[in-house]
Chain A
Amino acid sequence: MLNRSSSGTRWRVRPDGQDKVTGQLKYLTDMSAPAMLYGRVLRAAYPHAAIRSVRTERALALPGVEAVLTWKDVPGLNRFGIARADQPVFCEDRVRYTGDAVAAVAAATPEMAEYALRLIEVDYEPLRVLTDPEEALTPGVPQLHPDGNRLHRSEYRRGNVDESFGACVHIVEATYRTPRQMHTYMETEGGLFVPGEDGRLTVYSPTQHGLMDRLQLARILAVPPESIRVVSSPIGGSFGGKDELNVQPYGALLAKATGKPVKIHQSRMESVRAGLKRHPMTIRMKTGVDASGRILAHQVRVLADTGPYATLGAEVLNFTTEHVIGSYTFGTVDAVSDSVFTNNGMSGEFRGFGGNQALFALEGQMDRLAEVLGMDPWEFRRMNLLPPDGTGPFGQPISVTGGALKVWNALKESELWQEREHLPESGDRPPWIQTGIGAAFVMHGAGLGYGIPDPSGGRLRLAHDGKVEAAFGFEECGQGLLATLEQMLVEMYGLDASDLRLVIGDTDAVPDSGSSTASRATSMMWQALRRMREPFTGRLLAAAAEAAGVSAECLQVGTGGVYDIYTRKRVMTYQGLAAVVKEPIRAETSFAYPVSPTTRIGAHYLYSYASVCVRVEVNRLTGRIRLLNQFHAVAAGPVMNPQGYLGQIEGGSGMALGFTLSEDAVMEEGMYKTGNLDTYLIPTASDLACSVEVLPIEDLPEGDEHGPRGIGEIGSVGLAPAIAAAVRQATGIWLEKLPADPALLQDASFLGRKVETV
């Protein structure tokens, strides 16, 4: 099991830890500047309306107000969106959700900015509100975009399912529904936007990909990207939610317009209203087996509510389609997924990226099928696992790790799973407390997938002050990226943490490493460091050899400097070396995330595997579920950073508990009913005070070139279906909709009343 004591000296104090526990760390929303202005955004008053006019005169006349901007003030492209630029910076003639921006204000105080917003007069003509993706696809409804209300359709077919269903002995059909989950990063969106005297603009605002923000902002401002510097770390949590632009366009435009620094820090209410959420999905599955338990046919229909604009909605949907097939071999498959525009809140990228919804449904089918067959659900899964020969969900070639069988075995042998057969009848519990154990199997793709540019890279150099500077275009969202980078440099290069300077999150200083997303950053840093090791240390040792007048073969890299491998004495400090080198010592690499030799857009090549086992307790008086134990086995290659690895699985799983039990950003008529954290309920320590065991499976086949696989998302996927299986064992009731509705789990039959059917 992974923990501090089993990790020994590999369990390290994070380089950003001291500043975090003392409160000294300056988040970008903590920044301020002399004479700065406060920016605010006017959001749409209706979820769907035509804008007849916008009058800003009264707001502009207010003393202390220095700018009021609308779409007319956008010098460049009045649109943004990572994959498809369809979201207005400021709406021109129509608003499509209540987070849409109509205007923005910069004023001397937050109160004045607030008041100025009230003085902006917008004439709306409310339009029919589309709240249901199914309705949005029916003829005659308003079309939210020129190409209609379907953002994207993703299909996959193999064989003839209709024929195969005919040959099935058992067929299970179910419809699964998942909630509009909010990322709920503790730091809401914001930052400081500082115009420079040289005409450049510095943007201090969290994002998962600084260079992408720079590109998008350059298009909006109609300036060259190099004239913008984006400083984007540290980040108070993101989970995908700050991948897309949020307040940056407004801060940048206001700073440009006023020539003064502008600070924006969104309230939680505004963050809820404007920010991304996980796509609510309805997934219908029909899956059939033969008498021996082989799955012959699998039919899937996915309907995703993507909200008003695209962001990465299409890419999320592709991921879902891949993962509703997932780790199993099906005789025939027929999967059709649609992502549909509505006037609800924005859906978009969120840890797990459409896999969470898919796996809740897919694993639910596995449990139901095993039950109708009278088979052990875990054995049933094994019988239908993809062959370990490197075949992926779409039949595409994938990198072989052997992880699937290893996590399968680890769960089977776990104490928790073995207790499943011997659950005490009721023990010392009152009759309304019922317990159950359930499990789920997860296969999760990493990287952006085939057909989407996925470059990465990094840079090392010996700086003038003798520090070894490692520069990557990644971001520290809290996941421990800096800690992992430091640990890899220490363990792979033999350097000491004190020799290092880690440079991230600043577009003026970093190479393009791609986005800190899709469980890819650790893999890519490892890959880059592996590629740069020979060239960098070679140059370092050659320069030291020349300066010291010895042979480079006698030297090695070590703590604080270069050492003689025979005498083990330090020949030269890095500081000394930096002072005498004639040519800069540096190495740089760029490469692409590995992809499958396939033509299927979005298909992945590298996968991580996990199995999750839980014990739950259901109180039949209240219908409430409590998580008692968790076991996670994760096969994702070697553990680069034990503390970070454990934290990702525990933290991901905590997020998944909310997805399962309490989280849903409820909307009515396009308006959020959960405006803040008093109604949108993420788990507390009391909800998660259960035992957690994490078992990493590190080994990879001989000759594997890809090293550590991603673990940033996989912990957030498997808990929901495992809980659903455990609830079934405890109560005999299947959960089909998340978060679980306690009303479905109530049972007062201990009183001698008849069990009510619900």
Chain B
Amino acid sequence: MKSETDRIGLKPWTCEINGGRVSLNVSPSRRLLDVLRDDLGLTGTKRSCDIGRCGACMVHMDGVPVNSCLVPVYQAEGRSITTIEGIGRDGLHPVQQAFLEEGGFQCGYCTPGMIMTVIALLGEYPDPEPEQVKEALSGNLCRCTGYAAILRSVRRASERIIGEGCGPGGKGDACV
């Protein structure tokens, strides 16, 4: 029952999502969030505030975190998008493992976005200073945990990543 007017403005759109090439006909002004969730069924990316203030819809675009609710799809044209579904497909990522072990989640609704942010942080700074952790996490709201368990998860993930990369020697004070 879709009306013809609805078809107006569809354009071919191509981008790489979780390592695979995706081509769709979409309105270029649509939000990346909606295309991911509604057209591609990638519902691990969550909708919450619609204006980039909560981080529940966080994905990576060319390796850096962006709020997919803020990105019209034309901005993602030809770029590489990673969603939570693209993480840990061959076994959990150390960040996911750390959240699981520390209990860095409760309702879990902010968790995919939070994990995308932490993966980007630790990719850039495997052993982040407390200020770097605070800055990186400032765009991800969590209402359940009070962040304490999340900050412990970040520290644990960092220790694990450092441990895997260059032997023991994590500072272990990322969340103080």
Contact = CB atoms under 8 A, between A and B. Distances in A.
Interface of A: 4, 11, 13-14, 16-27, 29-30, 32, 63-64, 66, 108-109, 111-112, 183-188, 234-237, 239, 265, 267-269, 477-480, 643-644, 646-647, 650-655, 657, 676-678, 682-686, 688-689, 691-692
Given A17-B100, A689-B175, A234 B108 contact: yes
B108 A236 contact: yes
B47 interface: yes
A417 B2 CA distance: 66
Given A22-B87, A186-B109, A651-B106, A682 B141 contact: yes
A451 B51 CA distance: 45
A692 B2 contact: no
B144 interface: yes
Contacts of A11: 103
Nearest to B42: A23
Interface string B1-18: 111001000000000000
Nearest to A684: B138
A650 B44 contact: no
Given A13-B101, A17-B100, A186-B141, 13 more contacts: A20-B111, A21-B97, A22-B88, A184-B141, A188-B47, A236-B46, A265-B47, A268-B51, A650-B145, A650-B146, A651-B143, A654-B145, A676-B50
A183 B48 CA distance: 13
A677 B51 contact: yes
A676 B146 contact: no
A30 B84 CA distance: 14
Interface in B53-109: 53-54, 56, 83-85, 87-88, 92, 96-97, 99-103, 105-109
A75 to B, nearest CB: 25
Contact of A654 (B88, B92, B147): B147
Most-contacted residue by chain A among B47, B103, B142 (CB, 10 A): B103
A4 B100 CA distance: 12
B109 A21 contact: no
Nearest to B116: A23
Given A186-B110, A268-B50, A684-B138, A22 B84 contact: yes
A677 B140 CA distance: 11
B138 A686 contact: yes
B138 A186 contact: no
A136 B150 CA distance: 45
A236 B88 contact: no
B129 to A, nearest CB: 12
A64 B48 contact: no
Given A186-B110, A677-B49, A678-B53, A17 B6 contact: no
A64 B143 contact: no
A481 to B, nearest CB: 10
Among B37, B112, B148, B175: residue with most chain A CB under 10 A: B148
Contacts of A25: 108
B48 A187 contact: yes
A480 B102 CA distance: 13
Interface residues of B, number: 61
B134 A676 contact: no
Given A234-B108, A677-B54, A108 B1 contact: yes
30 contacts: A11-B103, A13-B101, A14-B100, A17-B105, A19-B108, A22-B85, A63-B1, A64-B2, A64-B6, A66-B1, A184-B141, A185-B107, A185-B143, A186-B109, A186-B110, A188-B47, A234-B108, A235-B107, A268-B48, A269-B50, A477-B107, A479-B106, A652-B146, A676-B50, A682-B141, A685-B133, A685-B142, A685-B151, A686-B134, A686-B138
B103 A14 contact: yes
Given A18-B100, A64-B1, A676 B107 contact: no
Contacts of B49: 268, 676-678
B158 interface: no
A21 B2 contact: no
B103 A109 contact: no
Contacts of B85: 22-24
B92 A186 contact: no
A432 B4 CA distance: 65
Contacts of B83: 23
B130 interface: yes
Contacts of B166: none
Nearest to A477: B107
A646 B48 contact: no
A186 B100 contact: no
B149 interface: yes
Contacts of A650: 145-146, 148-149
A478 B108 contact: yes
Contact of A108 (B2, B96, B103): B2
B161 interface: no
B107 A236 contact: yes
